[in-house]
Amino acid sequence: MGESYTFTPEKLRELQLKGLEMALYFKKICDENGLLFYFCGGCCIGALRHQGFIPWDDDVDVFMPRPDYERLKEVWPQKADTCRYSICYPTRERVDGNLFITIKDNETTYIKPYQKQMDIPHGVVLDILPLDGCPSDPGKRKRQKFWALLYSLYCAQQVPTNHGKKVAALARVALTCVPFKGLRYKLWKLAERKMTQYPIAQCEKITELCAGPHYMQNEYPRAAFDSAVYRAFEGHPMPLPVGYDQYLTIAFGDYMQLPPKEKQVAHHDCLFCDLEHGYQQYKGIYYCTED
């Protein structure tokens, strides 16, 4: 079977609306339980530039400050409809190739190539990225990024394919040197404790440590994420960081400028998609196959 699914414009719009449905439910749970979150990345830009999804965007990403992010792990199983929406994050027992929490719609199917052989929920995804305090001391910041890279490697337990040959080679060596599941888990939990040891309230800056080597370099003013402001997104008020202009300018430059035509395309990472049926019926066909 091929390693990509072809999205027509109509199917992409269906996927966007499914993502919107998930975002509204996620917002409901967060509002009812006092959890702070904000749209980030493409959805944040989309709210400001298009009052909805960027036309070629295909998913929903949100930020949560670390304290709210950790509380979500307790709140979701107790308060949310977990039959419909599963909360997933890597544990010692289940590594899913991600570095952060995801919410999955169990009544849909969206299988990513790197998760093809994993017996996990494979529905449409909402990504939840934690925000952490960023120390001002250069030495501490350098060590924080080192621990974040170590966390990324031993949490995902996969060789990265989109950060260059040198990074891939180093990652392959590091994984080979630590072949044991238990030891990898201990290293990733140690790295997680080290990289998150700077509380947001005690720092002047905020950073994102779980979105890959590029974004972990970014340092944002803490005040940009002190609270949320609301902007229309597909006809619904959705939260953005109060300092969204500072955040987006640091992360993306002139974010109100449309990219060149050749870059106005979705970057799908999808092996198979079915927005009308749950993923379970595709076990042994599109995931957990023997090839």
Q: How many whole angstroms separate alpha carbon 184 and alpha carbon 227? A: 36
How much is the pLDDT for 61? 96
Give the pLDDT confidence of 223-267 residue by residue, as tens digits.
999 999 999 999 999 999 999 999 999 999 999 999 999 988 887
Nearest to 215 by CA among 63, 58, 33: 63
- In this structure, which amino acid lies at residue 51? Q
Mutual angle of helices 165-177 and 138-156, in 10-degree steps: 70
Q: Is the pLDDT of residue 49 over 60?
A: yes
Q: What percent of the chain has pLDDT over 90?
A: 80
Question: What whole-number distance in Å separates Cα of residue 67 and Cα of residue 76?
Answer: 14
Rounded CA separation 223/112 (Å): 36
- The arithmetic mean of pLDDT across residues 165-189, rounded, is 78
Q: What is the pLDDT of residue 2?
A: 46
pLDDT tens column, 54-105: 999 999 999 999 999 999 999 999 999 999 999 999 999 889 999 999 999 9
Beta carbons of 138 and 153 less than 8 angstroms apart: no
Neighbours of 28 (CB within 10 A): 12
Task: Find the length of the chain.
Answer: 291
Given a cut of 60, whether residue 1 has pLDDT beyond it is no
3-state class (DSSP) for residue 108? coil
Question: Taking a C-beta distance cutoff of 8 angstroms, is the pair 18, 105 a contact?
Answer: yes
Amino acid at 178: V
Position 217 confidence tier, pLDDT thresholds 50, 70, 90: very high
pLDDT grade for 162, boundaries at 50, 70 and 90:
low
Q: What average pLDDT score do residues 40-53 get?
A: 97
Q: What separation, in Å, do the N-terminal and C-terminal C-alpha atoms of the chain show? A: 10
SS3 169: helix
pLDDT of residue 85: 98
Q: What is the pLDDT, as a whole number, of residue 164? A: 63
Global pTM?
0.93
pLDDT digits (tens, 9 = 90+) for 2-20: 467 889 999 999 999 999 9
Domains and CATH numbers, the chain: 9-131+221-282 (3.30.460)
